[in-house]
């Protein structure tokens, strides 16, 4: 039996992490992935990047992305025991935001000490990813022992809870 999670439980884990692997498709329909650092706010993920970066160009062509967030698992005092990472995977729609159209709180969170570096900000943009459909999880909300059994370690939960509906960004498919 799969683990029963709520979207809020999954969001709490997402908000504690900072690293994910983002998958996208090039204009030539080739799959690409990239490791990214993100900040989660208001049930969206924000990623800073250069305006000229290849991931920015790919997302401009096709806003459909996937993200997988690995969550390190381990046993304290026994670091030699290899435990697979837990994961949260989801599809999303990405849109490219100019720094001027991004709330200052998000700019500060993503750029930190460099938020006032006007030259850096002028060359940057943010990717705002809105998760859609379901979170697919492995090892979230279960013990390390249960992670050995895929049936007990897997979970699936809608991105939006019953009382919550997420407004989708405007993106052409």
Helix segments in the chain, DSSP class H:
7-16, 54-61, 104-111, 118-122, 150-153
- pTM score, two decimals? 0.86
Measure CA 10 to chain center: 11
Say if 75 falls within a structural domain.
yes
Say if 171 falls within a structural domain.
no
> How far apart are alpha carbons 168 and 93 in whole angstroms?
8
Say if 166 falls within a structural domain.
no
> How far apart are alpha carbons 55 and 59 in whole angstroms?
6
CA-CA-CA-CA dihedral for 167, 97, 109, 38, to nearest 10: 80
Backbone angles phi, psi at 126, to 5 degrees: -115, 145
What local confidence, expressed as pLDDT, does residue 90 receive? 98
Give the number of domains in the chain: 1
Residue 105, CA distances (Å) to 11, 115, 163, 168 in order: 19, 10, 26, 21
Say if 141 falls within a structural domain.
yes
User: Quick one: which H or E segment has residue 65?
Assistant: strand 64-71
Say if 147 falls within a structural domain.
yes
What local confidence, expressed as pLDDT, does residue 173 receive? 40
Query: Mind listing the pLDDT tens digit for each residue in 96-131?
Result: 999 888 888 998 898 888 777 788 888 999 999 999
Length of the chain: 173
Nearest by Cα to 106 from 159, 37, 172, 40: 40
Find the CATH number of the domain harbouring 103. Answer: 2.30.110.10
- The overall average pLDDT reported for the chain is 88
Say if 153 falls within a structural domain.
yes
Cβ pair 110, 132 in contact under 8 A: no
Query: Mind listing the pLDDT tens digit for each residue in 43-97?
Result: 999 999 999 999 999 999 999 999 999 999 878 888 887 888 999 999 999 999 9
For residue 102, the enclosing domain spans 7-158
For the chain, percent of residues with pLDDT exceeding 90: 58
> How far apart are alpha carbons 58 and 85 in whole angstroms?
28
| Residue at token pair 């709330």 | 103
Rg (CA), the chain: 17
């Amino acid at each position: 039996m799969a683990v029963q999670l709520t979207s809020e439980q999954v969001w709490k884990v997402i908000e504690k992490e900072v690293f994910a692997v983002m998958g996208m498709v090039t204009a030539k329909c080739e799959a690409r992935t990239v490791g990214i650092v993100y900040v989660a706010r208001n049930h969206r993920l924000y990623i800073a990047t250069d305006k000229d970066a290849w991931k920015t160009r790919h997302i401009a062509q096709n806003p459909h992305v996937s993200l997988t967030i690995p969550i390190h698992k381990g046993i304290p005092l026994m670091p030699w025991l290899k435990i697979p990472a837990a994961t949260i995977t989801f599809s999303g729609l990405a849109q490219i935001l100019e720094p001027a159209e991004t709330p200052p709180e998000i700019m500060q969170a993503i750029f930190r000490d460099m938020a006032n570096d006007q030259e850096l900000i002028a060359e940057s943009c943010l990717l705002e990813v809105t998760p859609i459909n379901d979170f697919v999880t492995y090892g979230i909300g279960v013990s390390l022992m249960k992670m050995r059994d895929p049936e007990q370690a897997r979970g699936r939960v809608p991105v939006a809870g019953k009382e919550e509906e997420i407004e989708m960004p405007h993106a052409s498919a």
